[in-house]
Structure 1
Amino acid sequence: MIVANFINGAPSLTAGETSPLVDPTTGEEFGRAVVSRAAEVDAAVRAAAAAFPAWAGTTPGERQLALLDLAALLEASAEAVADAEVRETGKIRSVVLGDELPQCADQLRFFAGAARALGTGAAGEYLPGHTSYQRREPVGVIAQITPWNYPLMMAVWKIAPALAAGNTVVLKPAETTPSSAVLLAALAAEVLPAGVVNVVLGDRGTGRLLVEHPVPAMVSLTGSTRAGAEVARAAAATVKRTHLELGGNAPVLVFDDVDVTATAASVVDAACYNAGQDCTAATRVLAHSAVHDELLAALTAAASARVPGTDFGPLNSQAQLDRVLGLLSRSRATVHCGGKRHGSAGFFLEPTVLSGLDQSDELVQAEPFAPVITVQPFDSDDEAITLANGVPQGLAASIWTRDTRRVASLTARLDFGVVWVNTHGPVAAEMPHGGFGASGYGKDLSMHSLEDYTRVKHVMIAH
Structure 2
Amino acid sequence: MTTELRRLRNYIDGEFRDAADGRTTEVVNPVTGEAYASAPLSAAADVDAAMDAAKAAFPAWRDLIPAERQKVLLKIADAFEERAEELIAVESENTGKPLGLTRTEEIPPMVDQIRFFAGAARLLEGRSAGEYMEGLTSIVRREPIGVCAQVAPWNYPMMMAVWKFAPALAAGNTVVLKPSDTTPASTVLMAEIIGGVLAELGHPKGVFNVVCGDRDTGRLMVEHPVPAMASITGSVRAGMQVAESASKDLKRVHLELGGKAPVVVFEDTDLAKAVEDISTAGFFNAGQDCTAATRVLVHESIHDEFVTALAKAAADTKTGAPDDDDVLYGPLNNANQLAQVAGFIDRLPAHAKVEAGGERVGDKGYFYAPTVVSGLKQDDEIIQKEVFGPVITVQSFSSEEQAIEYANGVEYALASSVWTKNHARAMRLSKALDFGCVWINTHIPLVAEMPHGGFKKSGYGKDLSAYGFEDYTRVKHVMTSLEG
User: Match for 2:215: what amino acid?
Assistant: R
Partner amino acid, structure 2, of 1:435: G
Please give the TM-score of this superposition, normalised by the length of structure 2: 0.95
Greater shift, 186-195 or 136-145, is seen at 186-195
- Distance across 2 between alignment mates of 1:164 and 1:280: 26
Q: Spell out structure 1 runs of 4+ moving beyond 4 A.
A: none
Q: Deviations over 1:94-117 (max 9, x none)?
A: 111111011100000000001000
- Correspondences of 1:225-244 after superposition (within 5 Å): 225-244=236-255
The answer to whether residue 433 in structure 2 is matched with residue 390 in structure 1 is no
Q: Give the letter aligned to residue 5 of structure 1.
A: N
Q: What is aligned with 2:428? A: 409
The offset of 1:180, in angstroms, is 1.2
Cα shift readout 1:272-302 (whole Å, capped 9, x = no counterpart): 1101000000010000001100000010000
Provide the C-alpha distance between the structure 2 equivalents of 1:40 and 1:270, rounded to a whole number of angstroms: 39
- Count of residue pairs the alignment pairs up: 463
Say yes or no: does 1:5 pair with 2:10.
yes
Instruction: Name the structure 2 match of 1:419.
Output: 438
User: What fraction of aligned residue pairs are identical, expressed as a percent?
Assistant: 55
Distance 1:259 1:281 in 2: 20
Q: Deviations over 1:299-327 (max 9, x none)?
A: 00001111111221000001000011111
Counterpart CA distance in 1 for 2:442 and 2:379 is: 27
How far 1:84 sits from its partner (Å)?
1.0
Distance of 1:59 and 1:311 partners within structure 2: 44
Within 1, Cα distance between the matches of 2:335 and 2:36? 15
| SS state at 1:232 partner | helix
Alignment correspondent of 2:332: 315
| Residues 338 and 351 in structure 1, CA contact (< 8 A), matched pair in contact too | yes
- Alignment pair present for 1:211 and 2:211: no
Which of 16, 23, 27 is residue 21 of structure 1 equivalent to? 27
Shift of 1:260: 1.3
Give the Cα–Cα distance (whole angstroms) in 2 for the partners of residues 20 and 185 of structure 1: 20
In 1, the alpha carbon distance for the partners of 2:23 and 2:39 equals 9
Q: 171, 175, 178: which one pairs with 1:165?
A: 171
**Superposed CA offset, 1:320-367 (max 9, x none):** 000111111011211011111011111000011001111111100011
Alignment of 1:254-269 (within 5 A): 254-269=265-280
Q: Are 1:280 and 2:280 an aligned pair?
A: no
Does residue 359 of structure 1 match 2:378? Answer: yes
Residue 384 of structure 1 aligns with an amino acid whose one-letter code is A
1:14-93 map, 5 Å: 14=19, 15-93=21-99
The answer for the alignment partner of 2:450 in structure 1 is 431
Contact residue 139 and residue 217 of structure 1 kept, 8 A: yes
Whether contact under 8 Å (2:299, 2:399) holds in the other structure is yes
Compare 80-89 and 138-147 and name the one that shifted more.
80-89
Secondary structure in structure 2 of the residue aligned to 1:19: strand
1:374 aligned onto 2:393: yes
Q: Residue 149 of structure 1 aligns with which residue?
A: 155
Most deviating of 248-257 and 10-19: 10-19
Aligned mate of 2:344, from 321, 327, 331 = 327
Whole-angstrom distance in 1 between the partners of 2:224 and 2:80: 31
C-alpha distance in 2 between matches for 1:447 and 1:183: 27
SS in 2 for 1:419: strand
Q: CA RMSD in A?
A: 0.7
Shift of 1:183: 1.4
Question: How far apart, in 1, do the equivalents of 2:55 and 2:67 lie?
Answer: 22
Deviations 1:220-265 (A, max 9, x none): 1100111100000010111100000000000000000112122111
Which residue type is aligned with residue 17 of structure 2?
S
1:414-461 residue CA offsets vs partner (Å, 9 max, x unmatched)? 000011011100000000000010000000000001100000000000
Q: Report the secondary structure of 2:396's partner residue.
A: strand
Shift of 1:191: 2.2
What residue identity is the alignment partner of 1:203? D
Paired residue secondary structure (1:336): strand
Could you say which residue in structure 2 is the equivalent of 1:298? 309
Task: Write the distance in 2 (CA, Å) between the matches of 1:25 and 1:368.
Answer: 20
Distance 1:46 1:376 in 2: 52
Structure 1 Cα separation of the partners of residues 194 and 54 of structure 2: 14
Query: How far apart, CA to CA, are the structure 1 residues paired with 2:432 and 2:271?
Result: 24
Secondary structure of the structure 2 residue equivalent to 1:282: coil
The separation in 2 between residues aligned to 1:189 and 1:31, in whole angstroms, is 22
When the two structures are superposed, what TM-score results if normalisation uses the length of structure 1? 0.99
Deviation at 1:187, TM superposition (A): 1.1
Query: Would you say the 8 A contact 2:263–2:418 is kept in 1?
Result: yes
The Cα shift of 1:16 comes to 2.3
Structure 1 residue identity aligned to 2:16 = P
1:188 deviates by 1.1
Letter in 2 for 1:86: S
Question: Given that residues 10 and 186 in structure 1 are in contact (C-alpha distance below 8 angstroms), is that contact kept between their aligned partners in structure 2?
Answer: no
| Residue 185 of structure 2 corresponds to residue 179 of structure 1 | yes
Q: Tell me the distance in 1 between the aligned counterparts of 2:294 and 2:221.
A: 33
Q: 1:186 deviation in Å?
A: 1.5
Structure 1 residue runs of 5 or longer lacking an equivalent are none
**For residues 93 and 45 of structure 1, what CA distance do their matches in structure 2 show?**
35
CA contact 1:8–1:195 (8 Å) conserved in 2: yes
What's the counterpart of residue 323 of structure 2? none
* Number of the residue aligned with 2:469: 450
Q: Distance between the aligned counterparts of 2:7 and 2:437, measured in 1?
A: 39
1:119 matched to 2:136: no
